[in-house]
Chains A and B, each alone.
Chain A
Amino acid sequence: MTKVIAITGKGGTGKTAMTSLLIRHLTKTNKVVLAIDADPDTNLPETLGCEVVKTVGDMKQFMQDERDNLPPDINKESIFESKLYEVLEEMPKYDLIVMGRPEGSGCYCYVNNLLRGIMDRLVKNYDVVIIDTEAGLEHFSRKMIRDVDDLIVVTDGSRRGLRTAERIRDLTEELDTNVRNIVVVANKVTDANRAEIERTADGLNLELIGTVPVDCVIAERDLKGLPLFDLPDDSIAVQEVDKIAKKLGL
């Protein structure tokens, strides 16, 4: 069975860093991973250290633009599937797919319906699917990915970050999404704010499953544009994320 993990949260809290470190952990434990960058502000490829030229959005647009030029009796799902595989970046141990650009004008119902079917089949090929997504949860509301086992909301030390977590939890219920479990991970935690974060999370009835301390190695690599994927094993952030992964049964 494929396990589906989604990572979301307020902007700037470190969702993408968290996603990269989880992928890093999973590939070290020999899991075959599909990473999906579903954040319109596409940062995951850079953080993982791979280059993505084309996105699912580009291919959706291709299907829209070319639909009258394709042979009339051609199977469009089969073409779209092949186009999707073309934008799948194949790395050792994991594949990466970037959702990319938003939809243009016009009706995308049919294309999205095809995409749902293709994604359903695709995810079954992996041990773990890990999705880096924006707080708006658009791809979930559109049911592009139908079932999510664990939704990890990343927050920083701010109260607003935890409020976002609360809103996301409420939103997943409202949207009738198939999310089994919602947990919170606090990022960039210091000794000074740790107790306060734990207290606030508790007050909002959020399940805090990990606190990742400020790691100056991450900040340094970020600034230099170096991928986080090859952080050393003894990095404190790496060690904390490994612990979180174990808690989630990964």
Chain B
Amino acid sequence: MADEYPFEISPMFEGERIRKDGMHVELSGPKSKGYELVRATPMDEIEDGKFTLIGPDLSEMEEGSRHPFAMIYKIAGELVEEDLESIVERRNHDFQNYIQGLMHLNQRYDVWIRVSKDAVAKGLTSFEPIAQAVMMLFKNELPFIEKVEAVYVTDLAEIEKEMDNVKAIYKSRDDRTRDLHDEDVDTFYGCTLCQSFAPSNVCVITPDRISLCGAINWFDGRAAAKVDPEGPQFAIPKGDVIDAEAGEYSGVNDLAKSLSSGEYDRINLHSFFDYPHTSCGCFEVVGFYIPEVDGIGWVDRDFAGVAPNGLPFSTMAGQTGGGKQVVGFLGIGINYFRSPKFIQSDGGWDRVVWMPKHLKDRVLADIPADIAEKVATEEDAADLDSLKNFLTTKDHPIVQRWVEEVEEEPEAEEAQETATFAAPPMMQNAMPMQGMPMMMPSSSGTGGVKIILKNAKVSIEKVIIQKKE
């Protein structure tokens, strides 16, 4: 079989770099143009194994020269569908790198290919055997492909003519990909990169929840776990859905148990208050509960000032980090703001009252239109009083919660006693919260804090913590 081709084919040639000294020609790349594209095509429109070249062939190219280059593969088969295009397209990178003397980098319209002098010396004079080898590998490795046809283009005008169409195809694919949600998959991914400094951290990456550092999305997790299942990113079978709204899954809970050495056995992916995700330390943004307005504020590491609760990012990050489940604080990656499931079990955006202006601007397009102007920034509110005023003036949905509370209060007070505790024993005995005591502005010396429990029966519905007057 290998004798058909004027080169060797093996995965061991992956990672082979062709230096400028050893390069016969460079195709596409940062200094030229090109693309690679796989298209699902009806069976009867494909002539299996056919290769077409538009433009000059390898033998007509001068040593050391650079040329535009596009590769189009049409695939057909009973199981072939549009959604498989990008998966198949990705394999072009692998298969071309299996060919000795060929270097393929990057993807889509950033592809960058080099053919070595050695390969040409050994008899490679045309692109045809390359295309034939890739088509052979497609059919062998991806058996759902029944027919395949290749078109390579080295003519600049032809490539430029198609470029807009090609980009539109990539874009529509990306739009479909962005539409992938937790309920559409049966596997999530975990990451242990932060465990060196946050040993009990359980980082769960799902289509609707990016890693806390903001660097790893579900697709990155999938790609890494496929290459090295024992590596820092690995698959988490989702298991049973326990609570779709909060984002609780049996597979995630099982993983939490083993990854945190038994410290945590429940994680709700989309909750701020109940068994929230652990926070590592490298999260991009930290969310903080503001009891005075019953809302949640968010602050990112680029915000140098203090949030309305009187604390800067660094202080809150210090309390939140370390791989703990910290009720009242939550570390997230910026992209989680764009998730349709963003803290959905606690009211989502309706619960958000404050964020720094630059952060708000960054995610503005993804904030529901009716709430966007009601979320305060440092320009609107620097402290709790101005925040309350702002929320009232803008009629933020959170104000509705205050009204409900006031209505309930008389009854509650008749039925229950209002308990006041000194903070430390209360924290240790009754609340499974870590870091919460630190949340108190450390303006100690003023006599600590007062904690009021309202409507407390067996479980605690609300805890209000405020500075002692």
B20 in the interface (beta carbon within 8 A): yes
A29 in the interface (beta carbon within 8 A): no
Contact indicator A110/B335 (Cβ below 8 Å): no
A32 in the interface (beta carbon within 8 A): yes
Partner of B282, one of A72, A76, A86, A107: A107
A247 to chain B, nearest CB (A): 28
Contact indicator A109/B219 (Cβ below 8 Å): no
- Which of A87-95, A180-188, A201-209 faces chain B? A87-95
Residues of chain B within 8 A (CB-CB) of A72 are 174, 177-178, 217, 219
Residues of chain A within 8 A (CB-CB) of B110 are 79, 82
Q: Which residue of A lies closest to B16 (CB)?
A: A125
B21 to chain A, nearest CB (A): 6
Contact indicator A122/B17 (Cβ below 8 Å): yes
Separation of A64 and B334 alpha carbons in the complex (Å) = 12
Residues of chain B within 8 A (CB-CB) of A122 are 15, 17
- Which of B208-216, B265-273, B288-296, B378-386 faces chain A? B208-216
Contact indicator B301/A105 (Cβ below 8 Å): yes
A178 to chain B, nearest CB (A): 18
Separation of A82 and B106 alpha carbons in the complex (Å) = 6
B98-132 at interface with A (beta carbon < 8 Å): 105-108, 110, 112
Residues of chain B within 8 A (CB-CB) of A32 are 19
Q: By the criterion of a CB under 8 Å from any partner CB, how many residues of chain A are at the interface?
A: 32
Partner of B15, one of A67, A106, A121: A121
Residues of chain B within 8 A (CB-CB) of A78 are 93, 105-107
Separation of A167 and B144 alpha carbons in the complex (Å) = 60
Separation of A35 and B214 alpha carbons in the complex (Å) = 32
B423 in the interface (beta carbon within 8 A): no
Contact indicator A109/B217 (Cβ below 8 Å): no
Contact indicator B220/A76 (Cβ below 8 Å): yes
Separation of A134 and B177 alpha carbons in the complex (Å) = 44
Partner of A79, one of B106, B216, B219, B334: B106
A116 to chain B, nearest CB (A): 11
Separation of A67 and B210 alpha carbons in the complex (Å) = 11
| A76-B220, A86-B30, A106-B284 as given contacts; A93 in contact with B15, CB under 8 Å | no
A73 in the interface (beta carbon within 8 A): yes
B326-347 at interface with A (beta carbon < 8 Å): 334-335
A66 to chain B, nearest CB (A): 11
Residues of chain B within 8 A (CB-CB) of A82 are 105-106, 110, 112
Separation of A44 and B250 alpha carbons in the complex (Å) = 55
Contact with A along B190-213 (1 / 0, CB 8 A): 000110000000000000000101
A74 in the interface (beta carbon within 8 A): yes
| A71-B177, A93-B21, A95-B19 as given contacts; A113 in contact with B193, CB under 8 Å | yes
Contact with A along B6-33 (1 / 0, CB 8 A): 0000000011110111000000001000
Q: Which residue of A lies closest to B171 (CB)?
A: A71
Contact indicator A106/B219 (Cβ below 8 Å): no
Contact with B along A113-133 (1 / 0, CB 8 A): 100000001101100000000
A85 in the interface (beta carbon within 8 A): yes
B94 to chain A, nearest CB (A): 10
Q: Which of B19, B211, B217 has the most CB of A within 10 A?
A: B19
Contact indicator A73/B177 (Cβ below 8 Å): yes
Contact indicator A111/B215 (Cβ below 8 Å): yes
Residues of chain A within 8 A (CB-CB) of B112 are 82, 85
Q: Which of B16, B93, B211, B215 has the most CB of A within 10 A?
A: B215
Q: Which residue of A lies closest to B301 (CB)?
A: A105
Separation of A76 and B334 alpha carbons in the complex (Å) = 18
A81 in the interface (beta carbon within 8 A): yes
Partner of A109, one of B106, B282, B302: B282
Separation of A109 and B107 alpha carbons in the complex (Å) = 24
B279 to chain A, nearest CB (A): 12
Partner of B215, one of A73, A81, A105, A110: A110
Contact indicator A113/B93 (Cβ below 8 Å): no
B402 in the interface (beta carbon within 8 A): no
Contact indicator A109/B215 (Cβ below 8 Å): yes
Q: Which residue of B lies closest to A74 (CB)?
A: B107
Residues of chain B within 8 A (CB-CB) of A64 are 215
Separation of A25 and B86 alpha carbons in the complex (Å) = 47
Q: Which of A107, A113, A121 has the most CB of B within 10 A?
A: A107
Partner of A73, one of B106, B213, B219, B301: B219
B157 in the interface (beta carbon within 8 A): no
| A67-B215, A110-B213 as given contacts; A77 in contact with B223, CB under 8 Å | yes
Separation of A207 and B335 alpha carbons in the complex (Å) = 53
B206-249 at interface with A (beta carbon < 8 Å): 211, 213-217, 219-220, 223, 232
| A90-B19, A121-B15 as given contacts; A109 in contact with B213, CB under 8 Å | yes
A55 to chain B, nearest CB (A): 16
Residues of chain B within 8 A (CB-CB) of A74 are 107-108, 219
Separation of A76 and B213 alpha carbons in the complex (Å) = 15
Separation of A109 and B217 alpha carbons in the complex (Å) = 14
A68 in the interface (beta carbon within 8 A): yes
Q: Which residue of A lies closest to B223 (CB)?
A: A75
Contact indicator B107/A79 (Cβ below 8 Å): yes
Partner of B170, one of A71, A86, A110: A71
Residues of chain B within 8 A (CB-CB) of A125 are 15-17, 19
A248 to chain B, nearest CB (A): 24
Residues of chain A within 8 A (CB-CB) of B214 are 67-68, 106-107
Residues of chain A within 8 A (CB-CB) of B105 are 78, 81-82, 85
Contact indicator B90/A75 (Cβ below 8 Å): yes
A64 to chain B, nearest CB (A): 8
Residues of chain A within 8 A (CB-CB) of B194 are 107, 109
Separation of A106 and B334 alpha carbons in the complex (Å) = 12
Name A's B-contacting residues (CB within 8 A). 32, 64, 67-68, 71-79, 81-82, 85-86, 90, 92-93, 95, 105-107, 109-111, 113, 121-122, 124-125
Please name the 6 residue pairs, one residue from A and one from B, whose CB atoms are nearest each other, closest first: A107-B282, A110-B215, A82-B106, A107-B213, A121-B15, A90-B20
Beyond the given A71-B108, A71-B173, A124-B15, please list 18 additional residue pairs across the A-B interface where CB-CB is below 8 A: A68-B214, A68-B335, A71-B170, A71-B177, A73-B86, A75-B93, A81-B106, A82-B105, A85-B17, A86-B30, A93-B21, A106-B213, A106-B282, A107-B215, A110-B215, A111-B215, A113-B232, A125-B15
A-B contact pairs, 29 of them (CB 8 A): A67-B215, A71-B108, A71-B173, A72-B177, A72-B217, A73-B219, A75-B223, A77-B223, A79-B106, A79-B110, A81-B105, A82-B105, A82-B106, A82-B112, A85-B105, A86-B30, A90-B20, A95-B19, A105-B302, A106-B214, A106-B284, A107-B282, A109-B282, A111-B215, A113-B193, A121-B15, A124-B15, A125-B15, A125-B17
